[in-house]
Amino acid sequence: MTNEKKRARIEEVYARSKRLFASVPELTVDELDRLAASTDVVLVDVRAAKEQAISMIPGAVTAREFESSSSLYSGRTVVAYCTVGHRSGLYAKKLLDRGWQAFNLKGAILAWTHADRDLEIEGVATRRVHVAGPKWSLEADGYEPVW
């Protein structure tokens, strides 16, 4: 599948989920860059530990870390992400309901790969990204899917 078709599929899957968290503001990867340049942002990875063990967006914290130390992030804008944006959209909705300023990263870590951005594991760069299986292997060319 071409990158163009993969991006279209990511958009399609995300659009179907969006109705469940329609009130949640979303950001593209480029919009996240602009926001982070002017605002104190914390990226929160809401994926399962086995997914995070493959790679994360640099500088992100896990949802578990965020929840256990949320006072450390007081006043910061939260941008949640998962694989495509479904789980992170639901998480961002909960944060908004609790009074946080929160966004969902549209297309999530898969969109991140299509923007040709770095991933890391324990501070070391990687091109590996966890996906749920062959059907979800929508990462950009040059990244290695792991399931």
Residues 77, 42: Cα–Cα separation, whole Å: 6
pLDDT of residue 52: 98
Domains contained in the chain, number: 1
How far is 72 from 122, CA to CA, in rounded Å? Answer: 21
Residue 123: its H or E element: none
CA pair distance 39, 75, nearest whole angstrom: 10
- Convert the pLDDT of each residue in 14-29 to its tens digit: 999 999 999 999 999 9
pLDDT at 107: 98
Q: Which residue range forms the structural domain that includes residue 22?
A: 3-146
pTM surpassing 0.85? yes
pLDDT at 84: 97
Average pLDDT of adjacent 10-residue blocks, the chain of 147 residues? 98 96 98 95 98 98 97 96 98 98 98 98 97 96 98
* Per-residue model confidence (pLDDT) at position 134: 95
- Is the C-alpha dihedral spanning 36, 41, 45, 46 positive or negative? negative
List the beta strands (DSSP E) in 82-143.
102-105, 119-121, 124-126, 128-130
Phi, psi of 39 (to 5 degrees): -135, 150
Q: 86: domain CATH number?
A: 3.40.250.10
pLDDT at residue number 15: 96
